[in-house]
């Protein structure tokens, strides 16, 4: 476990996140994740996320589907950098926080290269199984 420091491109928003890239990351083939090029690290405990600065600069992409899933995709309203997703999904164990790997300022190249990636098949609402094709993601 490591405390990572993250921020947006312009520096207006900063956060700390307690996680471990070696425990795995997630990418998805759903329409939203493909457009946003999402690559996230789920924190083992949502309390391990701490916003350090920039609360007043945050914006949110609302959940498009009306399926009862609570999910909030946060980004910087000044520069547009995607930062984290938080929500509450029973199948994921309830409340969760996932930070964008690209927003982590102090993740080493070695950590990024060796981080396992789980490729979720969100395009077919088959989240718990790997995506059949990932070369384009």
Q: Tokens 């077919």, residue?
A: 124
* Edge-to-edge order in the sheet of strand 49-53: 2-7, 14-19, 49-53
The C-alpha atoms of residue 65 and residue 54 are separated, in whole angstroms, by 28
Q: What is the pLDDT of residues 49-92, one digit of tens each?
A: 999 999 999 999 876 556 667 789 999 999 999 999 998 887 77
- Domain span including residue 52: 2-130
The C-alpha atoms of residue 47 and residue 119 are separated, in whole angstroms, by 25
Q: How many domains does the chain have?
A: 1
Element at 17 (helix H, strand E): strand 14-19
- Domain membership of residue 34 (yes or no) is yes
For the residues 85-102, what does the mean pLDDT come to?
A: 90
- Domain membership of residue 112 (yes or no) is yes
- Domain membership of residue 62 (yes or no) is yes
The C-alpha atoms of residue 3 and residue 49 are separated, in whole angstroms, by 9
Tokens standing for 116? 């396992």
The predicted structure's pLDDT at residue 64: 56
- Domain membership of residue 135 (yes or no) is no
CATH code, domain carrying 52: 2.170.150.70
- Domain membership of residue 39 (yes or no) is yes
- Domain membership of residue 121 (yes or no) is yes
Q: What is the pLDDT of residues 17-44, one digit of tens each?
A: 999 999 999 999 988 888 888 899 999 9
- Domain membership of residue 101 (yes or no) is yes
- Domain membership of residue 136 (yes or no) is no
Count Cβ atoms within 10 A of the Cβ of residue 4 and give its class: 0-12 exposed, 13-18 middle, 19 or more buried.
buried
């Amino acid at each position: 476990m490591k405390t990572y420091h993250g921020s947006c491109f312009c520096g207006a928003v900063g956060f700390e996140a307690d996680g471990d890239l070696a425990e795995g990351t997630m990418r998805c083939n759903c329409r939203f994740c493909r457009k946003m090029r999402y690559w996230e690290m789920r924190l083992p405990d949502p309390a391990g996320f701490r916003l350090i600065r920039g609360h007043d600069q945050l914006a949110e992409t609302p959940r498009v589907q009306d399926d009862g899933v609570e999910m909030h995709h946060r980004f910087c309203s000044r520069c547009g950098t995607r930062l984290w997703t938080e929500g509450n999904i029973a199948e994921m164990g309830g409340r969760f926080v996932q930070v964008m790997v690209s927003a982590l300022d102090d993740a080493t190249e070695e950590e990024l290269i060796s981080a396992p990636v789980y490729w979720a098949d969100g395009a077919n609402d088959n989240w718990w199984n790997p995506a059949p094709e990932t070369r384009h993601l």
